[in-house]
A = this chain, B = another copy of it.
Amino acid sequence: MNLKSHFPIFDTHPELVYLDSAATTQKPRNVIKAITDFYESSYSNVSRGMYKLSTDATQKLRDCRQKVATLIGAESSQDIAFTYGATDAINKVAYGYFKPKLTAGHNIIVTTMEHHANLLPWQKLCKESDTELRVVRLLANGNLDLEHLVELMNEHTMLVAVTHISNVLGIVNPIEQINKLAHEKDIPVIIDAAQSISTHTLNAIDLDIDFLVFSGHKMFAPTGIGALYVNPKYQAAFDPHFVGGGMIESASFFETVYQDYPQVLEPGTPNIAGVFGLGAAIDFMDDHSIYSQYDRLELLTQDLRSSLSNYDRIQVLGDSTNSMNIVSFEIEGIHPHDIAYFLAGKNICIRAGHHCAEPLLNSLEISAVARVSLSVYNEHRDIELLLEALKACINYFE
């Protein structure tokens, strides 16, 4: 089933071929409405108000926390902290949980395919704590070299940081297996689900997840909101980092007692409209069984990959047998920016560049790639238009 009709952007721009959902997804009508309704008819701050607007908003925020918990199969809504995005969430885990625990001799493991958001915070922490940063290699086909991961892990490993889906290669990492391998050695794992939250059913308990982060704006929700799941066994060891109102037990000028997780991570007025939009996005995903679109989108992805591979001058990155929603490629002799610009002239939106994964691209000896990415509103026609346009592009730059 095609969900395009639920996204007003395609009413405004019927010609739009939007193939940049890995950067951010478009928003369905009910998400936009949730925001508008809040501001137009029920706006208030949360938590400390006695009047109906405020108690309603407080209750709704609580409901949205439960929705996120349910979405990822967490035991309790109290396992969920709201953040301002995936980047914000990873940094808050880095500083609030790991930094105080790191010393020289420890190591942290990342993978070659991490987004800057799940690499740079660990790189920075390692530098500051004299901790070693270890990088899991890729196999020739782009997949993680799990044997290398096993080699890298030892009793001094404090964390494995891994993305669920690579935002460049589209490769889907076996997070259940990675969790198992790490947990055998009592090593916690942080999973960056920024790209997978809209495609993969995640169950925090079944998958035995330690830390998991994602951004709302890549799953049909507004900008400026994200979520963090922390397994109950790590919650007590969170230190306050950013501090302010709404997170204290008691405060004096010189001593403060902070509340526990998740409040300890949520100082200040939250992005309330963002939370409500996130809740509405989860409703949208439920109402339209988004995860049942998996097979259709996997097929589209395969189709796109194989069609691109048919061109002599096109080089597709990654593993054709293990890839979801994201396809990056190069065209010999045409710079990715020129490809993207040429397509933009035909109302086709793709993205070119290093996609915040510069170390990955360096390791592949590429400086930039063109990336096509799909979501539930895409259909076969979009791919046809793309392929036609790419043909024209190759001719144009001949």
A contacts, CB < 8 Å to B: 8-9, 11-13, 16, 20, 23-24, 26-27, 31-32, 35-36, 39-45, 48-54, 84-88, 90-91, 95, 110, 112, 115-117, 119-121, 123-124, 133, 135, 215, 217, 222-225, 240-246, 248, 250-254, 256, 267-274, 337, 340-341, 343-344, 348-353, 355-356, 358-359, 362
Contacts and interface: CB of A to CB of B under 8 A. Distances in A.
Contact of A254 (B24, B86, B123): B123
B41 A223 contact: no
B269 A223 contact: yes
Q: Is the interface of A mostly helix, strand, loop or mixed?
A: mixed
Nearest to A83: B84
B251 A116 contact: yes
Q: Among A222, A240, A245, A248, find the residue whose CB has the most chain B CB atoms closer than 10 A.
A: A245
Contacts of A224: 84, 224-225, 270-274
B117 A244 contact: yes
Given A8-B39, A44-B20, A117-B245, A135 B253 contact: yes
Contact of A253 (B23, B90, B119, B341): B119
A340 to B, nearest CB: 4
A17 to B, nearest CB: 10
Given A32-B36, A41-B9, A272 B223 contact: yes
B246 A356 contact: yes
A112 B254 CA distance: 12
Contacts of A16: 53
B120 A244 contact: yes
A268 B86 contact: yes
A353 B158 CA distance: 42
Contacts of A356: 244-246
Given A51-B349, A120-B243, A256-B123, A85 B341 contact: no
Contact of A49 (B23, B242, B271): B23
Contacts of A340: 49-51
A332 to B, nearest CB: 20
B243 A124 contact: yes
A54 B350 CA distance: 10
B268 A223 contact: no
A217 to B, nearest CB: 6
Given A9-B43, A13-B41, A362-B252, A117 B270 contact: no
A218 B121 CA distance: 31
A166 to B, nearest CB: 14
A43 to B, nearest CB: 6
A138 to B, nearest CB: 13
A84 B87 CA distance: 13
A115 B244 CA distance: 8
Contact of A251 (B51, B256, B359): B359
Nearest to A52: B344
B352 A50 contact: yes
A343 B52 CA distance: 11
Contacts of A116: 243-245, 248, 251, 267
26 contacts: A9-B43, A23-B48, A26-B43, A27-B39, A35-B35, A48-B352, A49-B349, A50-B340, A51-B344, A51-B349, A51-B350, A85-B268, A86-B268, A91-B242, A116-B243, A116-B248, A120-B243, A120-B267, A121-B242, A217-B269, A224-B224, A224-B270, A246-B356, A251-B359, A252-B362, A271-B271
